[in-house]
Chains A and B, each alone.
Chain A
Amino acid sequence: QKEVEQNSGPLSVPEGAIASLNCTYSDRGSQSFFWYRQYSGKSPELIMSIYSNGDKEDGRFTAQLNKASQYVSLLIRDSQPSDSATYLCAVFSGGYNKLIFGAGTRLAVHP
C-alpha cells in the first residue's frame, strides 16, 4: 500500500465548476497535510496546509481533512483554465518522520 494515494486523473471539469481532488494516506498518526500545485515543467508551489479536522478556506480553495477516514481533499471553486495543473498531496508521516508526496492528480479545466 502506498503511503499517500491520489487518482492520477486527468480530472476534467468545465470552467466555472467545482473541482474536487482527493487523497488518502496510510499513516494514521499523520498530523500535517499539504496541497501543492505543479504546472508542467515547473516546480511544486504550496497552495494550502491543514492540520485539524474540518474545512479550511483560502479564496477559491478549500481543504478538507478527515483523520478518522484518513482522507484529505482539495476543492477548487469557480475553476479556471489557469487552474489546469497537477496537484500534489503531501502528508507529514510521524512513522517515517518525513513529508511524503502522492503521485499527483492532473486537473484539466476546459473553457
Chain B
Amino acid sequence: ETGVTQTPRHLVMGMTNKKSLKCEQHLGHNAMYWYKQSAKKPLELMFVYNFKEQTENNSVPSRFSPECPNSSHLFLHLHTLQPEDSALYLCASSYQLGTEQETQYFGPGTRLLVL
C-alpha cells in the first residue's frame, strides 16, 4: 500500500453515463495528479493540482472534469465518454510540485471500460 487509494477499482459505463473517480492520499502530500494509461502506451499526464489549485491541464477533452476540494482528495468526473477513453486511470501524489526531488506515489488505479 502506498497511502494513495482509488475508488472504484473497476468501472463499466455507457457513453451517456456520468460517473466519478475518487482518489485519496494519506501521505500529507500537497500535489496530486491524474494519469491515463492505455494499452501498450506510456503514461499520459492529464491534470495536476498543487495545494488544491489546478496547475496543469494537458489538453484533456472537456468530457473529463477534475475536482480537488482539498489537498487529500481528487476527483475525476466523467460524462459522455467515448470507447477510446477506456484505459487505466491512475492517481498519484507527491509532497512538492515542481521540485527536483519530486517523488510520485501511485494509487492502484481505476480500470475503466466505456461501452
Contacts and interface: CB of A to CB of B under 8 A. Distances in A.
A45 to B, nearest CB: 7
Contacts of B84: none
Contact of A99 (B90, B102, B107): B102
Contact of A44 (B48, B90, B98, B102): B90
A31 B42 contact: no
A105 to B, nearest CB: 11
Contact of A43 (B48, B99, B107): B107
Contacts of A98: 45, 48, 56, 98
Contact of B98 (A90, A97, A103, A104): A97
Given A31-B100, A97-B98, A102 B107 contact: no
B10 to A, nearest CB: 11
Interface residues of A, number: 23
A100 to B, nearest CB: 8
List of 3 A-B pairs having minimum Cβ-Cβ separation, nearest first:
A103-B42, A43-B106, A31-B100
Interface of B: 2, 41-43, 45, 48, 56, 88, 90, 98-109, 111
30 contacts: A31-B100, A32-B101, A32-B102, A34-B104, A41-B111, A42-B109, A43-B88, A43-B90, A43-B106, A43-B107, A43-B108, A43-B109, A44-B90, A45-B2, A45-B106, A46-B103, A46-B105, A49-B101, A49-B103, A88-B43, A92-B99, A92-B101, A92-B102, A94-B100, A98-B48, A98-B56, A101-B42, A101-B43, A102-B42, A104-B42
